[in-house]
Each structure stands twice: as C-alpha cells, then as structure tokens.
Amino acid sequence: MREFIPPAARFVDLPAAFAMRRGGTLTGARIAYETVGRLSPERDNAVLILTGLSPDAHAASHPADTGPGWWEAMVGPGKPVDTDRWYVICLNSLGSCKGSTGPASVDPGTGRPYGPGFPELSMEDIADAAAHTVRALGVDRLACVIGTSMGGMSALSLLARHPGLARGHINICGAARALPFSIAIRSLQREAIRCDPQWNQGRYDEGNYPQRGMFTARKLGMLTYRSAREWDIRFGRARIAPEEREEQEDRADRAGRAGRAGRADLEPFGREFQVEEYLERHARRFAHRFDPNSYLCLSRCMDRFDLGESCGTTTDEALSRVPLERALVIGVETDILFPLHQQQQIADGLCAGGTAVEFVAMDSPEGHDAFLIDTVRFGAPVAKFLTLL
Amino acid sequence: MREFIPPAARFVDLPAAFAMRRGGTLTGARIAYETVGRLSPERDNAVLILTGLSPDAHAASHPADTGPGWWEAMVGPGKPVDTDRWYVICLNSLGSCKGSTGPASVDPGTGRPYGPGFPELSMEDIADAAAHTVRALGVDRLACVIGTSMGGMSALSLLARHPGLARGHINICGAARALPFSIAIRSLQREAIRCDPQWNQGRYDEGNYPQRGMFTARKLGMLTYRSAREWDIRFGRARIAPEEREEQEDRADRAGRAGRAGRADLEPFGREFQVEEYLERHARRFAHRFDPNSYLCLSRCMDRFDLGESCGTTTDEALSRVPLERALVIGVETDILFPLHQQQQIADGLCAGGTAVEFVAMDSPEGHDAFLIDTVRFGAPVAKFLTLL
C-alpha cells in the first residue's frame, strides 16, 4: 500500500488521539496541506479549498512546487482565486492516500499500514480534521471555504460543526446529502474493488493488487463525471485506429502496469470504439495512483453524508442553520452525479437562514467535472464573488 | 449453457444456411415466436413486436400460455394493442437465449453449444431473421412493426432492409444508432462478464458460471433503465432493515444461487441502503436467467448499430429513405440510455421522407423502462395510433 504525497506537501498533526465519529481513534494522525500566497498580518485573508475524492493538496503551482496543480487555471496570482490577495490553503482529506492519514498510512499501534483496519470514516471526521488544520495554521476565521464535489460536502459539514470559522463559502458541484443514484454508482464501484480476488479483504500489495477492480471503479466514475452530450460531440461513433490501440498497449506494457487484465481488446468483445479506449486510458492512469482501501473509505463516507442526519434535523433545516455572511453556489446542468437540484437545495437552504446567496446554473457540457475543465466559465463568478467578499 | 424457452413458444426455421452479415453461417437456425389474436383472411392485420435485449416472445397471455407476458398491460383483447383486431406476432431475437438460435444453442456442426464460437451478430441479422419469420407465417405486409428499446433498432433495420414489409411503425425508446454513453455502459457490462474468471473465454457451465460478472452487468443496466428522479422518490436515503436483509439472504441461499459472491453485505463496505438491496435483488433474479455469451453478443450488436452505416449514408438520410405510411415515435424525458433526442431524430428522419409521424415525449419518471411500467400513459397514444391505422 502506497501513499502518493506531492513533493511540497507540509503537515499538521491532529490531536494525539483523534476520535472518529463512528467509533475508533486515530493516534498520531496528520493532514497534508499546501499554501499559496501570504497570510496577512490581520490573518483575515485565508481561503480554504476542500477537494473532491481524488485530488491532493497541490491545487496550484507555487515556488516550492512549480508543477501545475489540479486547479491551476483557477488559483494563482491574478487568477479567479487571486493569491496576490488571498492566502490559499488546500488540504488532502483525512482518509485519503495523498499525505493525510488514511488506510495506506502506518498504524503506529502495529507498525503496519491500517489497511482494512482503518476506522470507519465519516464526512464529519474530514471536516473536523480540516478545521483543526486551519486553526493550527493560525487562522481563526476564514474569509472563505471553497468546496468542490465531495469537498462541497465536507465544507458544509465544517461550516455546520464549526460556526464562525468562515464568513464566506463557495460550493461547486456539491451536495448537502447523498441521493440513491450516486449511492448506487458508488456501491457498484466498491463492489468491483471488493469482488476483485486481489483485493483480498483489503490485504493487497503492489504485487497482488486489485487492478481490475480499480479499472472498473474508475471507468464507472468517468461515466458520471462527464456527460453524454460531451461524448456525443467528442467521440460520436468513432472507432479506434488499430495502430493507435497497439501503441497504447505497448506504452502501457512498458510502464509495467497492464498485465493480462489490461489487454481486454485482444479478446472477443474487446474495445472497438474511441469512447472505450478513453475509459481504458483513464482507468490505467488512475488504478495504481490511488489506494483501493482509501477509495472504499471515502466512497462510503460520501454515501452516508446527510447534513440533516448529522445535525439531527432535516437537510433543509440544517442548511438554514449554517452561519455565513455570503455564499456562491454553482451547479452544472449536465451533472448526473451531483445533479443541479442538489446545488439548488444548498442555495435555498443557506438563503433561508439569512445568508446572501448567489446561485449559478452552468450550461457546460462537461458534467460534474466542468469545474476542472470549463474554468473560463467558472472563473467569472468565483472571481466576482471573491472580489466583493 | 441453458436456454430459457417460454412454454408456448413455436418456431420458424431460418433458411438451411443463414449467412450472417459480419461473416459465418448458421445451419439449422430457428426463431421462437408466439402469436396472440387471429390472422384475418386478408392477412392484413398482423402486428410484429420486436423486443429489447432480454424479453422473450411471450409478450402477453393467450390460451396456450395464460401466464402474464412482459407487456401484458399493453397487448390483449381490448388493450392498446387490441388482439380482437390485430394478429400480434412477438418474436425472440436471433442471438438471444429464449428459444431463438444463439450462443447457448447446439451447433449442429459440433453437437455442442456454440458458446463463444457463435458468429458475430449484427442488428441486420436480427432484422433479416425477423422478416423471414413474418413471411413464413404467411404475412407479406405487416400493418405495423412495434419496436421497444433494442427492438426499436431492429425494427428500423427491418424496415430499411425489407421495404414494403410494413406500412406502420411504432418506435418506443429506440434509436437509429448507438451513441457513446450507451456504448460505454455496455462496454463496462461486457467487461464485468469477460473479466469474471468463471466466464473462462465463454466456456462456462452452470457449475462454473460468471455469476459475479452477470450481477455487475445487470446492476449497471438497472442504473440506466430507471432514473435518478424515480429513485429519489422511491428510496431516498432509506436504509436496509437488518431483518429484511437476512431474510433475503436466506431465501437466496435456499434457491442455491447466492454463494459467497452474493453475501457482499456481510463484508466491510457491504450493502446498507435500500437502493443497494434493490440492485442486488434484480441482479440475483437475472443472473441465471440469461446466457452470458448471448448477453455479450446482443450487447455488442447494439453498439455497432447505425442505420446510416448500414445503408452507406448518414443516419438522417437513411431514416428518410425508410418507406412507411405512418409512424408513432415515443421517448421518455428521463431516459439516459436511449435519450429523447434519439427518438426526435427518428421522428424527424422518417418525417423528412414523407411518413406521417407523430412524436410523443413522455414525462414519466421511470426512465428507459417507462414503457414497461407507465403503461397507462403509453397505452393512450399506442391505442390511438393503431385505431387510426
């Protein structure tokens, strides 16, 4: 089990014994983070970014790591999240495998990775660990919490559990609770991993790795991250050129990551259309760069999230209780994983509680992933919101 | 490998050597069919029903088989497809496993099931076999061809390849070509079956059966047959009651079909939400009632279908060349597998060729499967269309 820690990641230790909401305690746990920009002497210009399931803390390039971050177009000097003004903190979620403590981390109690023994993770744990990290960095009040995708869930949890920690909030393609279509998708992704014999009840290693399960999980994810409309335009019914296919196979084999399971196109009923090759390419790229147990933990934790259940009330009521000055909520019309009505619910709920809310429904064809791609369109409202904050 | 033949199925032999479009020949192949109602002396009241991927020829009850058919609410005396007036022929597609020749059938050349040796199937083969069957039943001109889902594809192929064989057409949740989102879904379904070690390159038997792959394939199918909206209403975030879960496991175990793979809920990250149980129930019901090789054949054959490619022109142009008097095209706004714009394309294309076309966009929440469930809403336009035919 490997962790995938970006080179410039720094760390904040969680309290020596960090109690998990669903039981169990983490000892010596830590959160990986990066910062871009400078904290003002008044400590009033901090913006926290909470990520989706897979990104690390490297949202954007900075002197210590000049490689492009996962949200490079959005974060930096003069960009929508302008680091000439804002001190941006991005952190890797608790339970992930990119520097923060998760199933791939060593359990100090045993000296071996937690693996399947990692305590059950909840969105509230991710939120509490994030709040602790922010305070440990000397910030008592954030100007804004930005949450994208799963980060939109953990951001709402943080805001509800740590009233006053932030005055502004940008929720992008997030949700205040998981609904059955996304639960079903994630359930199938987990099943693909768990039913891979190489998963071995969570006791795999690089030599015996549930690659096939991870492939399927990632392909299923890709189905829901984009939209049918985008694929109609992008792939249509185009076939794979035979030479292109062979070249990709060769490259993958050289990378030592294909094995027999990767050569599905050579068998009957193998890949024929470009959309199939596209899914395969993404699956190969992802499968060995994310810890399967971590994937399972974060996935289930999303299913279980309901801000209402968490606060002992309805989702709408819980949203109305979130104390905020201003919020920007953005959704995408073609998002099938976190559909637009879920962002509408967040906007309406926050508004009912007295927050000044702006709601933007984007017409991007890129579905749930639009915030990573259609950054021109997303940049405008984010920049405007932060300028006025 | 088993076939699942409804008790009252009858059979039409295909020509002794039936040439398949993509190569290979079937010897001694047959098509299973059932009829309801009586053929008029003028032989002008025949209505052909072409089915989706999984149904058999038993669309509705009749004296020889009084059990309910898969479209019982729609077909029968006084029903929208009124068998007091119409002579209804429903047939099982070539390549299926419900009486018509397919991979589970015995290859007369070897005395063993075709299995993975079945020739590559195309929609045109299904259409030609259907046309042959109709003529063998003494019908030279159908009053109407009704095609649902995949049947909407094979119906268009039949109409294009056998001009004059029908004067009317009802296309329900069909498509004139496969698009990348549905190709991707089917690709993942096939991958799940092919990567199940028990599939064994298509050489499985009941004792070594790719149950896990069939489970995943069916669950993925269910994700696309209904809609997120329906599931929000139906399941919301309801959990599985523990006693309900155990009862279902017990029942499944008694049926001897569960095995370890079925007991996923007992492991970590197992089933917790009702939507997960729902998928599991459907998967269990389906997995051993459809031949995996047949599933693979029909699935790939759908991907490859494009009426335009088949006719050597664009899809729109091919549609405009289909000779018909009248057509009714119905789609569902919540259908993500065969989305509404595909039925709009069929309607526009047929209309451009001079056919009198009625297009209906249904607001049913049941997605692609609405025609099987929301029969009150579907019944009205179908009954009206057939009355005026």
pLDDT in tens, B29-48: 999 999 999 999 999 999 99
A100, A149, A182, A299: the active-site residue: A149
Residue of chain A nearest B185, judged by CA positions: A223
* 20-39 of A, contacting B, C-beta below 8 A: none
pLDDT in tens, A111-158: 999 999 999 999 999 999 999 999 999 999 999 999 999 999 999 999
Q: Strand, coil or helix: what is B5?
A: coil
Backbone torsions φ then ψ of A307, nearest 5 degrees: -55, -35
User: Strand B142-148 vs strand B81-82: parallel, antiparallel, or unpaired?
Assistant: unpaired
Cβ atoms B116, B201 nearer than 8 A: yes
Does residue A23 contact residue A315 with C-beta atoms inside 8 Å? no
CB contact under 8 A, A273 and B181: no
Give the tokens for residue A63.
């002197």
Residue-level pLDDT at B251? 56
* B184 → closest Cβ in A237, A275, A306: A275
Checking if the pLDDT of A356 tops 50, the result is yes
CB atoms < 10 A from the CB of A38, how many? Answer: 12
The CATH number corresponding to A10-177+305-388 among 3.40.1010.10, 3.40.50.2300, 3.40.50.1820, 1.10.357.10 equals 3.40.50.1820
Question: Which DSSP symbol is given to B87?
Answer: E
Q: Which residues of A touch B188 (CB under 8 A)?
A: 216, 219-220, 223, 279
Q: Does A68 touch chain B (CB under 8 A)?
A: no
**Structure confidence at residue A268 (pLDDT):** 76
Cβ <8 Å between A267 and B194: yes
The correct CATH number of A182-293 out of 1.10.8.350, 3.55.40.20, 1.20.1070.10, 1.10.1740.110 is 1.10.1740.110
Q: pLDDT at position A262, please?
A: 43
Q: Give residue B242's pLDDT band: very low, low, confident or very high (50, 70, 90).
A: confident
In contact, B12 and B136? CB cutoff 8 Å: yes
B339 touches chain A (CB under 8 A): yes
Residue B308 clears pLDDT 80, i.e. is over it? yes
**Residue of A288, A286, A296, A285 whose CA lies nearest to A95:** A296
What homologous superfamily is domain B10-177+307-388 in, according to CATH? Answer: Alpha/Beta hydrolase fold, catalytic domain (3.40.50.1820)
Q: Kind and range of the H or E element at A328?
A: strand A326-332
Q: What percent of chain A clears pLDDT 90, i.e. is strictly above it?
A: 92
- What share of chain A has pLDDT > 70, as a percent? 93
Q: What pLDDT sits at residue B351?
A: 98
Mean pLDDT of B303-330: 98
- CB contacts under 8 A, A 272-311 vs B, are 272-276, 279, 296, 299-300, 303-304, 306, 309
First to last CA, chain A: 43
A11-63 per-position pLDDT tens digit: 999 999 999 999 999 999 999 999 999 999 999 999 999 999 999 999 999 99
Q: Does B244 touch chain A (CB under 8 A)?
A: no
pLDDT for residue B241? 86
Among A51, A30, A296, which residue's Cα sits nearest to residue A153?
Answer: A51
Inter-chain residue contact A303 with B272, CB threshold 8 Å: yes
Residue B40 is a catalytic residue: no
Q: Is there a binding annotation on residue A10?
A: no
- Given pLDDT bands bounded at 50, 70 and 90, which one contains residue A249? low
H or E stretch at B279: helix B274-287
pLDDT score of B268 more than 90: no
pLDDT at A233 (0 to 100): 96
Give yes or no for residue B266 having a pLDDT over 60: no
Lowest mean pLDDT among A250-264, B211-225, B369-383: A250-264
* Domain boundaries defined on chain A: 10-177+305-388, 182-293
How many whole angstroms separate alpha carbon B363 and alpha carbon B370?
9
**DSSP track, B101-123:** -STTSEETTTTEE-GGGSPPP-H
Among A265-269, B43-47, B84-88, B170-174, the range scoring the smallest mean pLDDT is: A265-269
A31 and A3 Cβ atoms separated by less than 8 Å: no
Q: Is the C-alpha dihedral spanning B55, B57, B59, B65 positive or negative?
A: negative
pLDDT, position A241:
86
Q: Phi and psi at residue B102, in whole multiples of 5°?
A: -155, -170
Q: Please indicate if any CB of chain A lies within 8 Å of the CB of B264.
A: yes
Q: pLDDT confidence of A68, banded at 50, 70, 90?
A: very high
Question: Per-residue pLDDT tens for B46-86?
Answer: 999 999 999 999 999 999 999 999 999 999 999 999 999 99
Query: A202 CB contacts (<8 Å, ≥6 apart)?
Result: A103, A115, A116, A292, A293, A296, B268
Alpha-carbon span A274 to A293, nearest angstrom:
30
Residue B141 is assigned to a ligand binding site: no
Q: Which of B128, B132, B335, B364 is catalytic?
A: B335
Q: For the purposes of burial, counting CB atoms within 10 Å of the CB of B126, is it exposed (0-12), middle (13-18) or buried (19 or more)?
A: buried
What the block records as the tokens of B321 is 């060349």
| Percentage of residues in chain B having pLDDT higher than 90 | 92
Q: Is B207 exposed, middle or buried (0-12, 13-18, 19+ CB in 10 A)?
A: exposed
The question of whether B58 is a catalytic residue gets the answer no
Q: Smallest Cβ distance to A216: which of B116, B191, B274?
A: B191
- In the residue annotation, A157 being an active-site residue is answered as no
Check for a shared fold between A10-177+305-388 and A182-293: no
Choose from A118, A186, A276 for mutation: most chain B CBs within 10 A.
Answer: A276
Neighbouring C-beta atoms of residue A195, cutoff 10 Å: 22
Mean pLDDT of chain A: 94
Neighboring chain B residues of A223 at a CB cutoff of 8 Å: 181, 184-185, 188
The secondary structure of B318-387 as a DSSP string is HHHT---SEEEEEEETT-SSS-HHHHHHHHHHHHHTT-EEEEEEE--TTGGGHHHH-HHHHHHHHHHHHH
Per the CB < 8 Å rule, is B267 touching A194? Answer: yes
- Predicted pLDDT of residue A260: 41
Q: Residue A259 — pLDDT band, cuts 50, 70, 90?
A: very low
